[in-house]
């Protein structure tokens, strides 16, 4: 028996990466944006349950695709194999430019907003934080794994504490969590579809383990467990957390607010305790930033190995793509300097949804291609139920976003056009070298 590589990670670390990628900015910020146009708490809770179903549907599909195409790189690796190199490249381009850099930027902003001490410039404080975390991940895979496991565990413990306290304490006077008033009207409204984009962003990260498939000790077993286990855990925590927020704070007090976690804990426990939890939340957002900083450059590395335009970033030291790490930092810093929180969230959400949609559609194609072959790997349960749910909800969100968020949609299309240009540029470079 060959000894295990010291650079390989376990199922537990895979789950930690998924949980850390998912639990971040959106859990503590997006509720305020949802309540700007939705007033019924029951509709909002339905929104979060639906977001969990959407994420779980995607996780089932990615687990199946990832055990057939056991290659790091996520959508880039999957779509290149399933469809053609251009579609795969564009999904990788999305990951490279916004897929990780944008959530990193948003999490860093949230950290700065929640941090209760000092009067720092939010943008520059956020950039400094991302730089420090990037530096940590340039050291060693062992250090990255230990940092990720510990920070994720502390994050989950904090959320469980907030939920436990919130469930025990009596609700705020006048709050009505379960309400049928205007329920179906809001459920079928444009505002609900747009809010689902916010929630979908909040759940983003459920596919994180698919980006580092080759770093698992046993991808065929570990990848499905990491994707599905992490997603189920986060869905339960998210729904209960939003319930606690809505239970203790009037809807009007949360609407449009970024730091909803601090507002809720102050309402539950008083000013001093609320400030403490605000500090704790800000510190533990570091776990989400860390997970994305770790995973994102692996996509860049996959692209760099196959496209000469990006070959500079394929350099590794002890399995660590240092140049790709710093490239991602540069893009995150640029987004922090140029965009608002809400713009980045919607812009990022549209592109990520489109990329995931193509991967889920790929399950149908893979099944057709392999229908006469005996397969070893994960098979999505109740096929094609979860795939249809994911496709319908994703298309619904994208259509509404195109209609109601013209600027962000235009930026998304521009991003894809630029990505297409770099693809053909890379091909031209490759040809010129022969």
Asked if residue 3 belongs to a domain, the reply is no
166: its two tokens: 């919130």
- Which pLDDT score, from 0 to 100, does residue 138 have? 82
At residue 3, the pLDDT reads 40
Note down the domain range covering 58.
11-432
Tell me the per-residue pLDDT of 118-132, one tens digit each, with 9 for 90 and over: 677 777 888 888 998
* Token code pair at residue 210: 């698919």
Whether the Cβ atoms of residue 395 and residue 403 lie closer than 8 Å to each other: no
d(CA 34, CA 37): 6
> What's the mean pLDDT in 331-359?
81
In angstroms, the CA 287 to CA 234 distance is 14
Residue 375 reports pLDDT greater than 70: no
Read off the pTM: 0.81
Are the CB atoms for 297 and 329 separated by under 8 Å? no
Q: Are 37 and 258 in contact (CB under 8 A)?
A: no
Q: Confirm whether 6 is domain-assigned.
A: no
Report, as an integer, the average pLDDT of 204-219. Answer: 80
Rounded Cα–Cα distance for residues 18 and 212 (Å): 11
Domain contains 2: no
Which residues contact residue 376 at a Cβ distance below 8 angstroms, ignoring those fewer than 6 apart? 67, 220
| CA-based nearest residue to 15, from 266, 239, 317, 233 | 233
Q: Residue 367 is encoded by which pair of tokens?
A: 């099944």
Residue 420 vs residue 151, higher pLDDT: 420
Q: What per-residue confidence (pLDDT) applies to 238?
A: 92
Length of the chain: 434
Omega before 384 within 30 of 0, i.e. cis: yes
Model confidence pLDDT, tens digit, residues 10-66? 888 888 878 877 877 777 778 888 888 888 888 999 999 999 999 999 999 999 998
Would you state the torsion angle of the CA atoms of residues 312, 141, 227, 233, taken in this order, to the nearest 10 degrees? -130
Who wins on pLDDT, 116 or 354?
A: 354
Looking at residue 83, what is its pLDDT? 92
> What are the phi and psi torsion angles at 319 (to 5°)?
80, 5
- Write down the residue that tokens 């930033």 correspond to: 289
Q: Between residues 252 and 231, which one has the greater pLDDT?
A: 231
Report the sign of the C-alpha dihedral through residues 25, 31, 32, 38, in that order: positive
At residue 116, the pLDDT reads: 67
pLDDT score at 175: 67
Alpha carbon separation from 400 to 185, 253, 409 (Å, rounded): 16, 27, 10
330 occurs within a structural domain: yes
SS (H, E, C) 308-334: HHHHHHHCCECCECHHHHHHHHHHHHH
Instruction: Report the candidate in 231, 227, 274, 221 with the shortest Cα–Cα distance to residue 114.
Output: 274
Determine how many CB atoms are found less than 10 A away from the CB of residue 315: 13
Average pLDDT over residues 220-230: 88
Average pLDDT, stretch 315-340?
84
Residues 6+ apart with CB under 8 A from 142: 6
Share above pLDDT 70 across residues of the chain, in percent, rounded to a whole number = 91
404 dihedral zone (left: phi>0; alpha: psi -120 to 50; beta): alpha
Kindly state whether residue 75 falls inside one of the protein's structural domains: yes
The whole-number pLDDT of residue 144 equals 66
Instruction: Give dist(CA 190, CA 378) in Å, integer.
Output: 36
* 202-222 exposure pattern, b = at least 16 Cβ within 10 A, e = fewer: bbbbbbbbbbbbebbeebeeb
Separation between Cα atoms, residue 130 and residue 143, nearest integer Å: 17
DSSP secondary structure letter of residue 3: P
Give me the CATH number covering residue 331.
Answer: 1.20.1740.10
What is the reported pLDDT for 430? 62
pLDDT, tens digit, for every residue of 75-92?
888 998 899 889 999 988
- What H or E segment, with its residue span, contains residue 422? helix 406-432
16 within a domain of the structure (yes/no): yes
- Mention every residue, 6+ apart, whose C-beta is less than 8 A from residue 127: 108, 332, 333, 336, 337
In total, how many domains does the chain have? 1
């Amino acid at each position: 028996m060959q000894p295990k590589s010291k650079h390989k990670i376990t199922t537990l670390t895979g789950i930690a990466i998924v949980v850390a990628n998912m639990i971040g900015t959106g859990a503590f910020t997006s509720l305020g944006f949802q309540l700007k146009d939705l007033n019924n708490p029951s509709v909002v809770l339905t929104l979060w349950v639906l977001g969990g179903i959407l994420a779980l549907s995607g996780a089932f599909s990615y687990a199946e695709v990832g055990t057939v195409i056991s290659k790091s790189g996520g959508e880039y690796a999957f779509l290149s194999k399933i469809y053609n190199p251009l579609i795969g490249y564009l999904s990788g381009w999305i990951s490279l430019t916004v897929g990780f850099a944008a959530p990193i930027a948003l999490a860093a902003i949230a950290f700065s907003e929640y941090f209760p001490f000092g009067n720092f410039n939010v943008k520059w404080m956020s950039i400094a934080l991302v730089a420090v975390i990037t530096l940590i991940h340039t050291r060693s895979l062992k250090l990255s794994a230990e940092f990720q496991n510990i920070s994720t565990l502390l994050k989950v413990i904090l959320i469980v504490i907030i939920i436990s306290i919130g469930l025990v304490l009596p609700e705020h006077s006048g709050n009505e969590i379960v309400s049928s008033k205007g329920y179906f009207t809001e459920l079928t409204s444009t505002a609900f579809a747009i809010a689902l984009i916010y929630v979908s962003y909040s759940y983003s990260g459920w596919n994180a383990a698919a980006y580092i498939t080759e770093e698992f000790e046993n991808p065929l077993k570990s990848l499905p467990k990491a994707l599905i286990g992490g997603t189920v855990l986060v869905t339960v925590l998210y729904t209960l957390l939003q319930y606690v927020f809505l239970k203790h704070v009037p809807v009007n007090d949360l609407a449009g607010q970024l730091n909803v976690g601090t507002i809720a804990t102050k309402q539950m426990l008083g000013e001093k305790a609320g400030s403490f939890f605000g500090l704790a939340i800000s510190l533990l957002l570091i776990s989400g930033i860390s997970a994305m900083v770790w995973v994102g450059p692996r996509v860049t590395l996959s692209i760099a190995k196959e496209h000469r335009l990006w070959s500079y970033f394929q350099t590794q030291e002890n399995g660590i793509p240092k140049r790709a790490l710093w490239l991602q930092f540069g893009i995150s810093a640029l987004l922090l300097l140029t965009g608002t929180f809400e713009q980045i969230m919607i812009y990022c959400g549209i592109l990520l949804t489109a990329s995931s949609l193509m991967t889920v559609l790929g399950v149908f194609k893979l099944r057709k291609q392999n229908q006469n072959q005996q397969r070893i790997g994960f098979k999505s349960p109740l096929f094609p139920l979860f795939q249809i749910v994911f496709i319908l909800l994703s298309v619904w969100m994208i259509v509404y976003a195109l209609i109601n968020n013209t600027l962000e949609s235009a930026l998304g299309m521009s991003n894809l056009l630029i990505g297409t240009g770099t693809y053909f540029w890379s091909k031209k470079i490759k040809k010129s070298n022969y």
